[in-house]
Structure formats: C-alpha cells, structure tokens
Amino acid sequence: MAQNRTSSTESSWEIFRKYRIDQEVGFALPNPLEELPEKYNAWILTAKNLTELIEAGQLREEVEKLPMLSTDDLQEYEQQCLAHLALGCITMAYVWNRGDDDVQKVLPSNIAVPYCELSEKLGLPPILVYADCVLANWKKKDPSGPMTYENMDILFSFPGGDCSKGFFLISLLVETAAFSAVKRVPTILSAVQHRDKESLRQALLDIADCLRKARKVFEEIHGYVDPDLFYNVLRKYLSGWKGNPKLPDGLLYEGVWDEPKQFAGGSAGQSSIFQCLDALLGIQQTTGGGPAAEFIKEMRTYMPPAHQDFLRFLETCPSAREFVLSSDDADLKEAYDNSVQALVSLRNYHLGIVKTYILDPAKMQSGEEKTEQVGQEHRGTGGTDFMSVLKTVRMKTMQSLLKDR
C-alpha cells in the first residue's frame, strides 16, 4: 500500500502542496498577513504594543477592556493564523505581564473564547506555539527582496528590545535552510521505490550539504540574541503552563472550561523539520519509550494538523535506511552516514546554544535564587527537562550511523 502512495504524481511537488508545505519557505506560512478585517483592529494594535503597555503597567487593563469578538468573519486560513498569533502573544503577555511573580491564573473570556475558537479551527492548542511565533510571525521589508535577516522583520514582539526579532527570525531562517534538505523527499521516495542507488546517494549527499548550511545560519544567532536578555526576559514570555511551578494547575480559560488547562510553551521541538528528517532517514526517536520519546510525540500535537499528517505519511513510506542497509553498497552507506552526521552536528550545536542561552545565565543567577534555580535550571519553555531530551535525541541520531555495519 505504501508503494502506491509514492506514485509519480505523489513524488512531485503535489506531495508538499497537499500538506500545506511551501516550495520556498517549507513549513513556514508563506507571506503572512499583517492586518485583519477592521473589526479586529483592537487585537492587532494591542499585540503590536505589548512592550509599551507592559512597561506602562497598562497591559492587563487594556486586555480586559477589549471587546468580545466573534471569529466567524475570519474565514481564510491566513487570517486565522494571524489572529491566532496575535491572541497568543496577548495571552502570554497577560499571563506573565512583567515576568515576575505577578502571574495571572485566569484568561478573561473576551480573549479566551475567540482564542479557543480559533485554536479549534486551526487544530492548535490555545497557547503561543512555534507555528505562531516563528512560522507565521515574519515579513519581508522589500517584498521582492531575498529572505535574509536584513530584509526581514517580525510582526509582534515581547519586551527585551530586538531579542524577539533575533530569536524568532534566526529560528525561521534555520528552518527554511533545513527545508532545502526536505525538498529531497520526492527524490528519495522515488529512488527507493525504483531501487535507484545513484539518485538516492546524491540526494543523501545533498541533505548533508543542506544541513551544514543550516548550521551556518544557526551560528548567526550570537550576533542578534543576547543570552542575558533571552534568559531573563524573552524566555519568560514563551513559558507555558504545563510543568510550571508558577502555574501548577494550569491556566483557566474563562467562558470555555470550568477547570484550568495545562499546555506546554513554544519549543523548537514543535518544528516539523527535524521530526521530518528523522522519519526520512529512519531514525527511531519515539521507540522504546522514555521522556524524550514521549516529549517528541507530545510536541507533534502542537504542530499544524497538515504537518502532522505529512510526518505520518513519511512513516508509512518504504524506508530509505532499510534500503541502504540491504544494498550492501559502500558508497551509498557513506552518503547515508554523511546526512546523519550532519544532523548530529546540528543537534550538537543546538546543545551548545542551550548551554549559552539557558544553562550559563541560570548558573550566574544561582547564587541569588538558588532554591528556585535548582529545580528550574534544566526546565524548558515546553515544561520538560530539555537537556536530557536533547542528549537522548542526539544519542539516537548517532546510533543510526551505519559505519561498520
């Protein structure tokens, strides 16, 4: 049955269009809208002025005065994405406010009701997710110009100066660079189906090259994101209400549910790119159970449904890894290992970034806030012991190398 799904039609760009994947920006939303119909201007204006309202101590008062609006007039997918992003940013700002211990445990119904309605329509949770703040939170300054940091900006930001712009845009540019590797999916599926070793070998080498370029893009984060600002300011606004001691029961969505709900905050684990590459290369991240496997499964539910469907589709396809293993072709195995090693390198670099932007700043604070930091130092915005998860993911990637097999 899986063989039939990789027909010549499926192996073309149709395979991507079917799953809301763009030829240029991949899993990101192409050309996100910046405005909604006029009746929703208050949402957009509030989301654009979060920093000023927080600094003036007026954020919560302004949010509570927003009118209760129906989402019925938001029929287009792009409109729903923009509204979900704006309400997500407003929600994070309302809950965390100044980023101190003044945490709001109830989201008022004028925000909670439309936010949850939109979330249901989009198949996303009612919290700011990666698909919002990274994949849909960007624009080009010159629409005809390139997708470069210099020619781009974000739609909404949080306190911390340009930290939001740097973090969200570099994440997006890594995402789009890595998507060049995913573009090889049709070629790989066709090569496995037709037992075309040379086409598969070249596609695997291309993947390795694309991932090396993605790592180069990742390295640019140091020029745009200050570790202290990220850890002490921006990161607080990305924190969720699952596994978070400041909201142990979760957040109450007034007018929607009678009990608080727990949702994980935005996380790179919610990016479809790397789960896609794992599936394509036959790297079994979710087998065997354990915290890392459970985290990866959970984070998939925070992705747009079409992207979840794409990952499930890849998992039903004939395995490139199994084909390489059965081929007894040294050059093909070497090409496969090159692609896996490039993915290991990218994950190694991610661990280094985590040390620079989370562990090191946490240690600097540990003298002043020792009690809290001991428990929270290794806890990510997704509410998980991220170091353990990242190291397990890297280990399973390394174990997939075919050298000496």
Model pLDDT, residue 14: 84
Residue with tokens 């957009």: 44
In tens, the pLDDT along 297-325 reads 999 999 999 999 999 999 999 999 999 99
Cα(125)–Cα(270) distance, integer angstroms: 12
Q: Is 84 part of any known ligand binding site? A: no
Cα(133)–Cα(44) distance, integer angstroms: 14
Model pLDDT, residue 386: 79
Model pLDDT, residue 260: 98
pLDDT-based confidence at residue 15 (cuts at 50, 70, 90): confident
pTM of the model: 0.92
In terms of pLDDT, which residue wins out, 8 or 295? Answer: 295
The DSSP bridge partners found for residue 251 are: 261
Cα(405)–Cα(151) distance, integer angstroms: 47
Instruction: Please list, in sequence order, all residues whose beta carbon lies within 8 angstroms of the beta carbon of residue 28, skipping any fewer than 6 positions away.
Output: 22, 134, 135, 136, 138, 172, 175, 176
Model pLDDT, residue 367: 58
Per-residue pLDDT, averaged over 237-266, amounts to 97
Model pLDDT, residue 364: 87
Model pLDDT, residue 383: 44
Task: Tell me how many domains the chain contains.
Answer: 1
Model pLDDT, residue 112: 98
Cα(313)–Cα(189) distance, integer angstroms: 11
DSSP letter string over 339-350?
A: HHHHHHHHHHHH
Q: What is the CATH number of the domain that holds 345?
A: 1.20.58.480
Cα(162)–Cα(167) distance, integer angstroms: 9
Instruction: Please list, in sequence order, all residues whose beta carbon lies within 8 angstroms of the beta carbon of residue 169, skipping any fewer than 6 positions away.
Output: 138, 149, 152, 153, 154, 224
For the CA atoms of 297, 301, 302, 307, what is the dihedral angle to 10 degrees? Answer: 100
- Tell me whether residue 255 is in a domain: yes
Query: Which domain, by its residues, includes 14?
Result: 3-398
In tens, the pLDDT along 64-117 reads 999 999 999 999 999 999 999 999 999 999 999 999 999 999 999 999 999 999
- Tell me whether residue 404 is in a domain: no
Percent of the chain with pLDDT over 70: 92
CA 144 to the chain's CA centroid: 26
* For residue 6, pLDDT beyond 80: no
pLDDT-based confidence at residue 358 (cuts at 50, 70, 90): very high
- Tell me whether residue 223 is in a domain: yes
In tens, the pLDDT along 373-400 reads 434 445 554 445 778 899 999 999 999 9
* For residue 10, pLDDT beyond 90: no
Model pLDDT, residue 404: 65
Per-residue pLDDT, averaged over 332-340, amounts to 98
Cα(141)–Cα(152) distance, integer angstroms: 5
- Tell me whether residue 29 is in a domain: yes
- Tell me whether residue 239 is in a domain: yes
C-alpha closest to that of 379 among 238, 181, 217: 238
- Tell me whether residue 405 is in a domain: no
- Tell me whether residue 403 is in a domain: no
DSSP letter string over 367-382?
A: TTSHHHHHHHTTB-TT
